[in-house]
Amino acid sequence: MEITTALIEEKLIQLIELLPESQQKGYLNQLSHIAVNSPLQQIGYAIAMSDFLQKFLSRPLNPTNTTNQEFQLTQWLKSPPTFADCDNYSQRLAIILNDVIDEDELYRNLRYFRYQEMAKLSFCQSLNLATVEQIFIQLSELAEALIIGARDWLYQKACEEMGTPLDDNGYPQQLYILGMGKLGGKELNFSSDIDLIFTYPQAGETSGGRRAVDNQKFFTRLGQRLINALDQFTAEGFVYRTDMRLRPFGDNGALALSFSALEQYYQDQGRDWERYAMIKARVLGLKENDPQALILQKLLRPFVYRRYIDFSAIQALREMKNKIAREVRRRGLINNIKLGAGGIREIEFIVQVFQLIRGGRENALQQHSLLNILPELSRLSLISAEQEQALRAAYIFLRRVENLLQAIDDQQTQVLPDNQLDRSRLILGCKQYSYFDEYQNITMHSEPFANWEGFYHTLQQHQKT
């Protein structure tokens, strides 16, 4: 099955038939002569590209109102989203959560907000209303807003139950969250897991509760509740699959550690792979001039970036790379655009190895975003200008493929499809897309392929970069 006018009409009819009969006739009549760039035409194309979006538009605006239901589709037909609508997540979510009274309601609101905003981003991605980079930046902004919004709501409840955690000077303490991996780099996928590390400034105890509670116990309980709020699967789905294994000692370690305990661990026991992972670590919900956040960043920096050119890490990194390659061969990951040969992980590995080895002397390499690092590597003559351009083009193309794949049904996958419809979606979605050039100008890129063989050839060329 390919994406044809007939398929788009069929999908639109399925949605229109959900509307009140009084509205159906007008929209059904439009199907024979849909105006270019009309809401109906835009929605039809977008749902042909994403089953996830079609499911969203089939949902009622207010699931609790069973007598007078209005569907998401009704709202979008009046005014389809634009990329300008995919912003201000923290402010909009805060307004919603301000009226939430219990954890069940918190869970529902977090899940619905994520579902609604992901649908908008899917629509914008399919219609090229944003660049490849803008999509994964906003996916990251959305995740950060949901994580911090949930943390702040749960923190207030925890303080009401256990008292407020204080430092030695009697000042309240907050739970700090390090976003790792693509979340840390603001490069999140459409259906990513999130990797987090929890930490807090000082040991101590709470004040104002029925009895004092140790700060570590307070923040451990808060962390557990936050993971459940994000990760637990309910009738409304989940927010994000949450992975805490990158913390000190992994699954065997404390869920939340004080700054000093975190520093001690990395000084005494931190391994090269943890340095590699920590390159992407970013404090989420960072407030300007927050002294505690500055302390946290300062204590982590010497562990990651050494003042000398760190050749000692090269052998460990080589072994890490060989281990990944063996695993790829063992699992036969031929069509995996992330883990396969020449995939996204290999590009990330190239960039992060340079950061690890040279970042201590070159402050310009102490950044989280891969696309910001590439020109710095070229400027420092660590790679050629031609290599920079080739890696940039390959990374953007592969990330476009990855997000289109995951937006089909909000599934975490990097494996190329074997069915014709999903292949058609990738061909259409990758024939034309926009990105930021080296001068940060939006550039529209077009590919000449018209079939799967042409798409796959282009993919392989990028993987050979």
The full set of domain ranges for the chain reads 1-80, 101-304, 307-464
Tokens of 293: 């956040």
What CATH number does the domain located at 307-464 have?
Answer: 1.20.120.330
Tokens of 188: 């999140």
**All residues at 6 or more sequence positions from 47 whose CB lies less than 8 Å from its CB, including other chains:** 8, 11, 12, 15, 53, 54, 57
Tokens of 295: 């302390």
pLDDT attached to residue 62: 66
**All residues at 6 or more sequence positions from 332 whose CB lies less than 8 Å from its CB, including other chains:** none
| pLDDT, tens only, 305-334 | 988 766 667 777 778 778 777 777 777 677
Give one word for 342, left, alpha or beta, with left for phi > 0 and alpha for psi -120 to 50: left
Distance of CA 250 to the CA centre of its chain: 22
Greatest pairwise CA separation for the chain in angstroms: 73
Residues of the chain with pLDDT under 70: 1, 62-69, 309-312, 332
Tokens of 420: 């014709």
Tokens of 431: 């024939």
DSSP strand pairing (194-200 vs 442-446): unpaired
pTM beyond cutoff 0.85: yes
- Nearest to residue 313, comparing CAs of 277, 365, 262, 340? 277
Question: For residue 17, what is the DSSP state?
Answer: T
How many CB atoms are located within 10 Å of the residue 37 CB? Answer: 9
pLDDT attached to residue 3: 87
pLDDT attached to residue 69: 59
CA atoms 348, 351, 356, 360: torsion sign: negative
Q: For 375-402, give the DSSP string.
A: HHHHHTTSS-HHHHHHHHHHHHHHHHHH
How many CB atoms are located within 10 Å of the residue 412 CB? Answer: 13
Backbone angles phi, psi at 434, to 5 degrees: -115, 155
- Nearest to residue 114, comparing CAs of 234, 15, 14? 234
Q: Are 304 and 368 in contact (CB under 8 A)?
A: no
**Are domains 101-304 and 307-464 of this chain identical in fold?**
no
Tokens of 453: 């063989």
What CATH number does the domain located at 101-304 have?
Answer: 3.30.460.10
Distance of CA 359 to the CA centre of its chain: 25
